[in-house]
């Protein structure tokens, strides 16, 4: 007989001025000890520009004072909390005493070098020390990329002599040897000849006339191949309104784009393209016998494949432009390659689409490193001339054994995480669940290969079997391009609000009956797999036409619980925290967007831990699910920001509850929750008060009514 479980409860109330000192509570660490930022304090005004005296990103001080009602100290109100904690020569990674890498990551032959402003010729300085100059680093003032080709591009030991030589030069402020780490494509399938369709084929008399349009069930689902009729992206409604993505550019950050493909070359934007794997302006995929580097070309076709040209299918936004950013074709990724990719031409590029991430093995906990996070934050604050770039991310292909809240890219509040459904409305077998997913589109998952995603392939070929959440993210990017043509003033936050308000539950369901549809405190339906539902291009475009920019966003530290609590196989812990959401302070939040539970914990088996966050309005989010492959017993989570979107538009005031438990399957395990910080991100003003809801049953009408009722209380 199993012992009855017991609960340990801790309560904290964040009222009054406690002047509590905390050690840099605004950073988080991955399983390798790498620190990464997770919030920016008061980072936007009404136009999403930085609110700082210098309008620049500034680092977080080493300590912070928390004063009054869960607020953030006055000294920090002008800071953009990017929290680039001083990186040691390992790039923040764990090393042994002899300088060897203590993790699966490696040291590369690339160095991040910061130069004094007086340096006129960085390339000459690099040559002086035997390095090749690779260019400036996006978003890093004085930052430059040096590469030493006499060193191997991957080694376990740090090259101390080369670092010392650089640091000894008085014109060099700092030098850090870059760490290499793995990033993987999501949804890649090995080539099978029968998956290829010649680019020249008989035209289908249906409209559009592209020969593979009949296979693009996610654009127009008539029930073909056993699908559910009308379960699609409703793009034809957007096209009927005249929106096809004109003047919007989406960058495919991937293994390259075949920009010579007849279905892509008309819409290719060379000015916005670059090859960061080879450091040249030609992001063409490297040839391999198995066509492994077809991934980016397939994603590009989903968005921008031309219409009615007799080739392959049609893109979601078939008049939009596509840029190629080749950055995923080298043995190891580095922080600089990612940062330069995500900060490349932010005023030419509107949307960045990423169908990759940390390894989806159910045991990896990883995310963007320091320079990359700075680039993303700079993109949402300054890109598109202050409106903010849109970062679309595939939520992950780890299936039921993984959780996308352990992926710091997909779980970031600055990205839009997209999951997938298949043609009958069920989730794909590879779909990960997590509370940070905002919405879903479509991909394959059935045994019938014709239910895959039809798109462009290498060398003027077409495929019917693009797959994984890799295929889902570009579809979302295409829908966003349609909305951004309909309203050129949309900010990065406007796109997220439009996604929440116009996505549909439709007939999406969990095939394993684990996660049902639920309703949050203001009447919005959400699902742990599908977020707020499947994107509806017609509805999004219609609402975007008359959209009013959402009010400024603020970031409130709702409170901190630091008392360590014990977890065991038969004892869960419930921590409660009462907050007034920084009422009366400059960072007051009344209407939620994103919520983060920043947690430090460890256990004898990390994968058995489950975490749940319940809001004052009763919305319960599973912010961490069991991951049976994760047998870590040492790293745990260090200030990791588990994010939920499920409480969108709710009132954050009241008591929040964090529940931790061990789902061990009968094994004896134990753990400790060491710290929990509640971060509330949202607006002081009601976000939709100036919008008119024409349909009384629409999400917009439901939320507006809930907000009006709140005011009358």
Q: Contact at 8 Å (CB) between 670 and 567?
A: yes
Active site residue 254: yes
Taking the C-alpha atoms of residue 256 and residue 285, their distance in angstroms, rounded to an integer, is 4
**Kind and range of the H or E element at 146?**
strand 143-147
Q: Is 475 helix (H, G, I), strand (E, B) or coil?
A: helix
Q: Residue 278 burial (CB < 10 Å; 0-12/13-18/19+)?
A: middle
The active-site residue out of 32, 43, 212, 254 is 254
Taking the C-alpha atoms of residue 664 and residue 130, their distance in angstroms, rounded to an integer, is 54
DSSP per-residue codes, 286-310: PP-TT-GGGHHHHHHHHHHPPSSSS
Neighbouring C-beta atoms of residue 5, cutoff 10 Å: 12
Cβ contacts of 100 within 8 Å, gap of 6 or more:
156, 157, 158
Q: Contact at 8 Å (CB) between 587 and 77?
A: yes
Q: Contact at 8 Å (CB) between 479 and 233?
A: yes
Q: Which residues share a beta bridge with 418?
A: 394, 439
Q: Is 458 helix (H, G, I), strand (E, B) or coil?
A: coil
H helices present in 76-194, as ranges: 122-128, 160-167
- Reference 529, options 435, 411, 407; nearest CA is 435
The active-site residue out of 295, 344, 594, 707 is 295
Taking the C-alpha atoms of residue 230 and residue 300, their distance in angstroms, rounded to an integer, is 24
Taking the C-alpha atoms of residue 331 and residue 286, their distance in angstroms, rounded to an integer, is 13
- Reference 454, options 439, 469, 464; nearest CA is 464
Neighbouring C-beta atoms of residue 666, cutoff 10 Å: 6
Per-residue tokens: 88: 């040691």
Q: Contact at 8 Å (CB) between 354 and 391?
A: yes
Taking the C-alpha atoms of residue 307 and residue 447, their distance in angstroms, rounded to an integer, is 29
- Reference 518, options 611, 644, 402; nearest CA is 644
Neighbouring C-beta atoms of residue 524, cutoff 10 Å: 24
Active site residue 572: no
H helices present in 45-201, as ranges: 122-128, 160-167
Active site residue 295: yes
Taking the C-alpha atoms of residue 367 and residue 379, their distance in angstroms, rounded to an integer, is 17
Q: Contact at 8 Å (CB) between 20 and 65?
A: yes
Taking the C-alpha atoms of residue 349 and residue 357, their distance in angstroms, rounded to an integer, is 21
The active-site residue out of 320, 436, 470, 621 is 470
Cβ contacts of 578 within 8 Å, gap of 6 or more:
11, 12, 13, 14, 15, 559, 654, 655, 656
- Reference 539, options 329, 311, 243; nearest CA is 243
Buried b (16+ CB within 10 A) or exposed e, 631-659: ebeebbbbbbbbbbbbbbbbbbbeebbbb
Taking the C-alpha atoms of residue 679 and residue 38, their distance in angstroms, rounded to an integer, is 10
* Helix-then-strand count for the chain, H and E: 10, 32
Per-residue tokens: 127: 């040559």
Please give the positions annotated as active site. Answer: 254, 295, 470
């Amino acid at each position: 007989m199993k012992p009855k479980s017991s609960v340990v409860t801790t309560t904290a109330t964040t009222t009054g001025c406690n002047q509590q000192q905390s050690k840099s509570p605004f950073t988080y660490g991955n399983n390798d000890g790498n620190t990464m930022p997770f919030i920016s304090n008061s980072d936007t005004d009404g136009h999403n520009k930085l609110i700082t005296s210098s309008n620049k990103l500034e680092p977080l001080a080493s300590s912070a004072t928390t004063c009054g009602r869960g607020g953030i100290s006055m000294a920090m109100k002008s800071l953009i909390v990017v929290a680039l904690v001083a990186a040691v020569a390992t790039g923040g990674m764990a090393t042994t005493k002899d300088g060897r890498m203590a993790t699966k990551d490696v040291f590369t032959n690339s160095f991040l070098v910061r130069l004094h402003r007086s340096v006129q010729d960085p390339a000459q300085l690099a040559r002086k020390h035997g390095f090749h100059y690779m260019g400036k680093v996006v978003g890093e003032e004085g930052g430059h990329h040096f590469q030493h080709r006499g060193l191997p591009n991957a080694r376990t030991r740090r090259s101390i002599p080369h670092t010392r030589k650089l640091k000894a030069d008085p014109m060099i402020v700092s030098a850090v040897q870059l760490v290499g780490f793995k990033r993987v494509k999501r949804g890649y399938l090995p080539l099978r000849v029968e998956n290829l369709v010649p680019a020249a084929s008989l035209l289908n008399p249906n409209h559009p006339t592209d020969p593979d349009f009949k296979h693009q069930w996610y654009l127009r689902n008539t029930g073909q191949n056993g699908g559910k009729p009308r379960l699609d992206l409703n793009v034809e409604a957007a096209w009927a309104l005249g929106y096809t993505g004109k003047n919007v550019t989406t960058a495919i950050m991937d293994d390259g784009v075949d920009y010579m493909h007849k279905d892509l070359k008309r819409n290719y934007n060379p000015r916005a393209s670059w090859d960061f794997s080879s450091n040249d302006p030609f992001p063409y995929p490297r040839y391999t016998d198995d066509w492994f580097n077809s991934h980016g070309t397939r994603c590009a076709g989903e968005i921008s494949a031309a219409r009615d040209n007799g080739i392959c299918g049609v893109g979601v936004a078939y008049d939009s432009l596509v840029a190629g950013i080749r950055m995923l074709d080298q043995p190891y990724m580095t922080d600089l390659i990612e940062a330069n990719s995500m900060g490349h031409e932010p005023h030419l590029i509107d949307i960045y689409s990423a169908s990759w991430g940390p390894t989806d093995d159910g045991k990896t906990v990883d995310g963007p490193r320091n320079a990359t996070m700075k680039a993303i934050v700079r993109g949402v604050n300054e890109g598109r001339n202050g409106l903010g770039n849109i970062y679309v991310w595939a939520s992950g292909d780890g299936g039921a054994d993984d959780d996308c809240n352990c992926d710091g890219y997909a779980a970031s509040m600055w990205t839009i995480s997209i999951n997938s459904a298949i043609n009958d409305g069920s989730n794909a077998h590879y779909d990960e669940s997590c509370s940070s997913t905002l919405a879903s589109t479509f991909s394959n998952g059935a045994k019938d290969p014709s239910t895959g995603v039809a798109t462009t392939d290498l060398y003027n070929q077409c495929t019917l079997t693009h797959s994984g959440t890799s295929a889902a993210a570009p579809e979302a990017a295409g829908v966003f391009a349609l909305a951004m043509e309909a309203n050129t003033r949309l900010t990065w936050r406007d796109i997220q609000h439009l996604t929440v308000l116009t996505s549909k539950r439709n007939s999406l369901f969990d095939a394993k009956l684990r996660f049902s549809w639920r309703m949050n405190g203001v009447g919005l339906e959400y699902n742990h797999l599908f977020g707020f539902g499947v994107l509806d291009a017609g509805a999004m475009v219609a609402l975007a036409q008359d959209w009013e920019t959402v009010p400024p966003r603020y970031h409130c530290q709702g409170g901190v619980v630091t008392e360590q609590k014990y977890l065991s196989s038969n004892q869960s812990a419930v921590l409660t925290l009462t907050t007034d959401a920084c009422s009366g302070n400059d960072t007051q939040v009344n209407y939620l967007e994103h919520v983060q539970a920043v947690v430090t914990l460890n256990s004898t088996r990390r994968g058995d831990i489950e975490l749940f966050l319940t809001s004052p309005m009763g919305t319960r989010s599973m912010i961490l699910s069991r991951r049976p492959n994760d047998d870590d017993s040492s790293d745990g989570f260090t200030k990791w920001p588990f994010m939920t979107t499920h409480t969108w538009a709710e009132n954050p005031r009241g008591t929040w509850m964090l529940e931790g438990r061990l789902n061990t399957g009968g094994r004896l395990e134990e753990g400790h929750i060491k710290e929990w910080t509640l971060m509330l991100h949202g607006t002081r003003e009601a976000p939709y008060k100036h919008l008119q809801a024409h349909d009384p049953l629409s999400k917009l009408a439901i939320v507006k009514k809930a907000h009006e009722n709140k005011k009358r209380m």
